Amino acid sequence: MHKLNTVAIVGSGLVGSGWALVFARAGATVRIFDGDAALRARAPARIRQMLLDMQGAGLVQDVEEPLSRITVCDTLAEAVGPADYIQESVLERVEVKQAVCAEIDAAMRPEAICGSSSSGIPASAFTEALRNRSRFLIAHPVNPPHLVPLVELVPAPWTDPAILPALRAAMEEWGQAPIVVKAEIEGFILNRLQGALLNEAWALYEAGLASAADIDLTVSQGLGLRWAFMGPFETIDLNAPGGIADYSARLAPLYHNIAVSRANPRPWSDAAIRGAEKERREVLPTDQLQERTDWRNRRLMALVAHLRSQPK
C-alpha cells in the first residue's frame, strides 16, 4: 500500500486539532477543514499554543516547522481531494457522521483511507451506503491524541482487511500506539475497560463505602501508577511469584465473587450523580474546569516526557 504522506482533518475541534498536530509533527502534510468557519479560523492559533506547551515540556524542539506543514482549507473537497489518509473528527452523532462521510466519500481518491474518531459508534452505522465503504474504519484516539498515543482501529464488516496492517504501521510511524479491534463491539476496547472501572466506582460511591475523592485517590495513587506503563495482564503477571497462572490460582475466585456480586448492574442514579457533582464542585468550581484541564495536560506532558526518557 502507498505511503500516507498527505493527511486531511475533517473537524477542527479539540480532537481534530490534536490529530493535526500528531500528523504534522511526524512530517506529514496536513490539510484541515471544518464546516464552522470560526473553528477553522481558530485552528492555527490553537495548534500553535499546543505546540508551544509541548515545547515547554521538551516534547517538541520546533514550533514553526510542524505549523508550516498545516493548511486550513475553505472546502471539504479541497482538504480531502489530495489526501492519502483522512481523519474524520466531527460531532459524535450518527446522522452527522453519515452526512460528512458521504461528502468525504464523494471527494476522496479511491485508494485513500478514512478513519473516524468515533468513540463508540461503529463504522457500520454510517458507512454502509458509501461508494468507497471498504476504505472506511474507526480510528478512535484518546483525548488529547497528541499526548495520549493509543488509537483503536476497528473495521466495519466491509472494510478492506489490507488497510489494518498498513494503517497500524502508519500510526506507529506517526508516533501513536495503535491496537486492532478484530470486530465491531459497543464501546470498543478502551471504553469497555474504562466503563467497567467507572461502573464499579459509581456502585461503591452510591453504597456509601467511600467518597468520590477517596475512590479517585485509589486509582491515582494506586492502580494508576502501574497502569501508566503496563496493562492489566502484565500487572498481574508481575504480582505473584509464579506469574499470571500463580496470580490466577490465588485471586481468580475473589474476582469471580466480585463480578457475581454485580450481576444486576443498575444505571448510575440521579442521586449518586448529584452527590458526586456536589463533592467535585466543592473541590473544583465550574469556572475552574478549564484551568484544571490545562493542568492535566501539563501533567500528561511531563509523564510523556518521563516515559520517553526511560528504556523500553
Model confidence at 199, pLDDT cuts 50, 70, 90, reads very high
Phi, psi at 153, each rounded to 5°: -100, 115
State yes or no: pLDDT of 105 exceeds 80: yes
Q: Which residue has the cell 482487511?
A: 161
Q: Which long-range contacts (CB under 8 A, 24 or more apart) does 45-50 make?
A: 46/17, 47/17, 47/20, 47/21, 50/17, 50/18, 50/21, 50/144, 50/146
Model confidence at 85, pLDDT cuts 50, 70, 90, reads very high
CATH topology of domain 190-309: N-(1-d-carboxylethyl)-l-norvaline Dehydrogenase; domain 2 (1.10.1040)
Lookup: cell for 151: 488509537
State yes or no: pLDDT of 188 exceeds 90: yes
Note the pLDDT tens digit of each residue in 11-25.
999 999 999 999 999
Q: Which residue has the cell 511531563?
A: 302
* pLDDT on residue 132: 98
Note the pLDDT tens digit of each residue in 241-277.
999 999 999 999 999 999 999 888 899 999 999 999 9
Report how far apart, in Å, the C-alpha atoms of 145 and of each of 13, 71, 100, 255 are.
12, 19, 21, 33
Model confidence at 2, pLDDT cuts 50, 70, 90, reads low
> For residue 235, with 0-12 CB atoms within 10 Å meaning exposed, 13-18 middle and 19 or more buried, which class applies?
middle
Least confident of 108-112, 215-219, 262-266: 262-266
* pLDDT on residue 312: 75
User: What is the full DSSP assignment across 222-257?
Assistant: IIHHHHTT--HHHHHHTSSTT-HHHHHHHHHHHHHH
Domain residue ranges of the chain, discontinuous segments joined by +:
6-180, 190-309
Strands (E), the chain: 6-10, 29-33, 70-72, 85-88, 113-116, 136-141, 150-155, 177-180
Q: What is the mean pLDDT of the chain?
A: 95
Give the global pTM: 0.92
Which CATH superfamily hosts domain 6-180? NAD(P)-binding Rossmann-like Domain (3.40.50.720)
Note the pLDDT tens digit of each residue in 130-176.
999 999 999 999 999 999 999 999 999 999 999 999 999 999 999 99
